[in-house]
Amino acid sequence: MKITVIGGASSYTPELFANLVELDGLLDVQEVTLLDLNPEKLERVVQVGQRLLEGSPVKTRISATQDREAAITGADFILLQVRVGGLAARIRDERLPMEFGMVGNETTGAGGFVCALRTIPLAMQIARDVERLAPHAWLLNLSNPAGIVTEALLKYTPVRTIGFCNIPVNTTHGLAEVFGVSPSAIRLDSVGLNHLSWVRGAYVNGEERLQPLIAETAHRSSPLYEAGVVDPLIDPDWLRNLGMVPGWYLRYFYYTGQVLEEERQSQHSKGERDLVAEERLRQIFLTGGYTQEARDILESKGGARYYVPVLQVIRAILEDSGEEVVVDVRNGQALPDLPADVCVEVPARIGKAGAEPLPFGPLPLNVRGLVQAVKAYEELTVEAAIQGDREAAVEALVANPLVGTYSKARAFFDRVLENESAYLPRFSPGVTRPGNTAG
């Protein structure tokens, strides 16, 4: 079996090899090929990976290349983890929205919109190569904004695609701490979209154990807060009213003004802090490899356990096991309040045919409107990125609850076209919506 990692020089990639070692040979991977445009970082990650595998039962060969065709050819599973424009682009995505009085984030709101416009065209190019060179391979997307990129791939390519986020697995580990059980003993009942999700239940041996904890949570020193399952911004009264645990990114919607003020007061954006962290990781990887300090830094950056659900899904596909994993998948009939062809983030049964989303039923009324609004924004963003459609781009921003007004959307998008012109050639003057004529 060959796994290819596109964007393999990421500082997170060593965790993939650490997780393979933790599986103790249960997943027989003959080769992992790392593809990246940065040869220096690529070689460094290869060396760290080889150190991790030495002395373990894992006999995986690690190779590195800058040749996309060679990397994709013969691959069984292809991990897509790219950041178009690097951290410099992420910092722009965080800073520019704040100039317009909007929260800034690389996956949510106006910043996530720009990230999607840059990333989707490259994802589509890679998918075309996969279709041509490895038509039976699975494309496993980790690139942000994961739900939007995955939706573009599902709608516009025939490539077998599943998307991933580490929030569900990290939530599971937090709940395992609260319950005093192994994370593998918990079945998560989660619903929503990528970075817009809620956990309704957590089952241990068939017993639902989350709802009683939510009902008795009265202050921020309660177990769900102490274990990091609930964002400290979430008021305990609001948690009980929701009756579900909101994912971390709901802070941008429930506490928009407070988050914006915190971002304005901060001397450095998340991307700027990550630049510092990346330099420290470079030094650690050169000397000590994948040390505990490196693990701590990566966890503080928010990327811990990304490969846990990926490897779960790979094993479940190979073994046709029907294991349940929370993934980004085509909706079908899972959430009847949303179109069948859109991407949702829900528990799915994984087998050789892929991911079958489990039916959830109608969305709770207290989150339905927000989910539908954000999904409309995501659909328009995909259309804009695929078609180079300026009208759809502005419509997407207006539909986004974190933007919301035409004047703000129009002015912001004009600045985006200036700042990101090198990455957005499809939006060059004269490109119009299919069926429209200029003049």
| CA gap 282, 11 in Å, rounded | 8
Positive or negative torsion for Cα 283, 284, 285, 287: positive
Q: What residues contact 128, with CB distance under 8 A and at least 6 apart?
A: 157
**For the chain, what percent of residues have pLDDT higher than 90?**
91
Nearest to 109 by CA among 439, 412, 418: 412
Task: Give per-residue pLDDT as tens, 106-149.
Answer: 899 999 999 999 999 999 999 999 999 999 999 999 999 999 99
What residues form DSSP beta bridges with 77? 3, 138
Average pLDDT of the residues in 213-224: 96
List the chain domain ranges: 2-164, 372-427
Which single residue is written with the structure tokens 């410099």? 88
Q: What are phi and psi of 186, to 5 degrees?
A: -105, 130
Average pLDDT of the residues in 40-56: 94
Q: What residues contact 96, with CB distance under 8 A and at least 6 apart?
A: 104, 110, 111, 114, 412, 415, 416, 419
Q: What is the end-to-end Cα distance of the chain in Å, rounded?
A: 55
pLDDT tier at 438 (50, 70, 90 boundaries)? very low
* pLDDT above 50 for 272: yes
* pLDDT above 50 for 437: no
Q: Fill in the DSSP letter of residue 191.
A: E
Answer whether 417's CB lies under 8 Å from 427's CB: yes
Answer whether 166's CB lies under 8 Å from 306's CB: yes
pLDDT at 404: 87
Q: What residues contact 32, with CB distance under 8 A and at least 6 apart?
A: 2, 3, 4, 5, 16, 17, 49, 60, 61, 62, 63
This prediction has a pTM of 0.95
Q: In a 3-state reduction of DSSP, which class is residue 85?
A: coil
Answer whether 313's CB lies under 8 Å from 327's CB: yes
Answer whether 333's CB lies under 8 Å from 340's CB: yes
CA 436 distance to own-chain centroid: 34
Mean pLDDT of all residues in the chain?
Answer: 95
Length of the chain (residues):
439
Which single residue is written with the structure tokens 């596109």? 6
| CA gap 221, 177 in Å, rounded | 15
pLDDT tier at 439 (50, 70, 90 boundaries)? very low
| CA gap 143, 81 in Å, rounded | 5
Long-range contacts of 292-297 (CB under 8 A, 24+ apart): 294/14, 295/15
Q: State which H helix or E strand residue 186 sits in.
A: strand 186-193
pLDDT tier at 432 (50, 70, 90 boundaries)? low
pLDDT tier at 433 (50, 70, 90 boundaries)? low
| CA gap 299, 194 in Å, rounded | 19
pLDDT at 428: 77
Residues annotated catalytic, as ranges: 249
Task: Give per-residue pLDDT as tens, 51-77.
Answer: 999 988 899 999 999 999 999 999 999
Q: Please state which CATH number belongs to domain 2-164.
A: 3.40.50.720
Q: Fill in the DSSP letter of residue 219.
A: S
Which single residue is written with the structure tokens 């989910």? 371
